[in-house]
Structure 1
């Protein structure tokens, strides 16, 4: 049986910490289960693990903020990335 968890929440609530723990836990006590983490946060800065896929490879908030033709702030850049 396959299953998934979608971890969402405001900044600073421990989403990355939780994902890191779950990945380590599956390696130690996972009974053969494989845990894969996918990052869909274009504003994430660092991880204690290597995501299977990372949205920042396609677009990041920093890239949008540096784009002079867009003239967006941090919130606008995040919304732009989500589109």
Structure 2
């Protein structure tokens, strides 16, 4: 009987991990930037108003996320001469 309960717990734990998906990373366009935040800052805001509401302290502000602003740019067309 104890072996059966251990096996049941193992199967239950395995099924819990099998059904979970990894977190989806997302780059938001606005970052809280300042001396103590690092570069590019805390980029977890979708609007500038959200960013400004949570930016507090001296020398702390909001700026565009460089990964979003300067992300993959479209490649120019190749011309044949």
The reply to whether TM is greater than 0.5 is no
- Between Structure 1 and Structure 2, whose CA radius of gyration is higher? 2
Higher helix share: 1
